[in-house]
Amino acid sequence: MRSSLTLVGTLWAFLSLVTAVASSTSYFLPYWLFGSQLGKPVSFSTFRRCNYPVRGEGHSLIMVEECGRYASFSAIPSLAWQMCTVVTGAGCALLLLVALAAVLGCCMEELISRMMGRCMGAAQFVGGLLISSGCALYPLGWNSPEIMQTCGNVSNQFRLGTCRLGWAYYCAGGGAAAAMLICTWLSCFAGRNPKPIMLAESIMRNTNSYAMELDHCLKT
């Protein structure tokens, strides 16, 4: 089985898969921001949360210790986080699509040419840029009431208060940076240039096929 990728292209496909999985996994996990509320640890992503308060008997607040997404898009605490959810999700989808095509290129001949590889690298740059934009938007939502309650009521935009950033935030940003800088550069050398002999053989094969079909139609 002959690959359509060069040796550098194989490395590019591997790194593309790693960065896409890292960014996408971090996007879905609610470990972007860590704080505490009512003595219990609380964590957030853009559209998910672990541990939240509810009204118990006697109208007292109790913490429900479970993870889940917000009930609706409008229930996400701030407009900045809503934008972050959309932008980051689009970037992750783009990186996953390119990574899938790159992995298929390792197994299929003539799937990814040199020009196609560069176009896919440009798509990776856009995907990484979208995720990076989402990471930049994320601190704009730290002044929402829900986040302030978790961060000691002293948090604000770009100021965490008593909270701290989680590993998933750094993983998403690192995956985006690797996709933009490393994968985009490697993609320029990923695809094979079609050899003149192979190109001529392909043209002759197609020409003979058309000639046989035409001859068959004339005879019938």
pLDDT at 208: 57
**Structural domain count, the chain:** 1
Rounded to two decimals, the pTM is 0.83
Would you say residue 219 lies in a domain?
no
pLDDT at 197: 41
Q: What is the CATH number of the domain that holds 151?
A: 1.20.140.150
Q: Give the β-pairing of 164-165 and 33-37.
A: antiparallel
Burial of residue 3, with CB atoms counted within 10 A of its CB: 0-12 exposed, 13-18 middle, 19 or more buried: middle
Would you say residue 102 lies in a domain?
yes
Would you say residue 183 lies in a domain?
yes
What's the rounded Cα separation, in Å, for the pair 108 and 21? 22
AA identity, residue 160: L
Place of tokens 């690192």: 174
pLDDT at 110: 76
Would you say residue 140 lies in a domain?
yes
Q: Tens digit of pLDDT for each residue in 22-57? A: 999 999 999 999 999 988 999 999 999 999 888 777
Would you say residue 19 lies in a domain?
yes
For residue 25, give its domain range.
7-195
Q: Which residues of the chain have pLDDT under 70?
A: 1-2, 58, 194-220
pLDDT at 200: 45
pLDDT at 55: 79
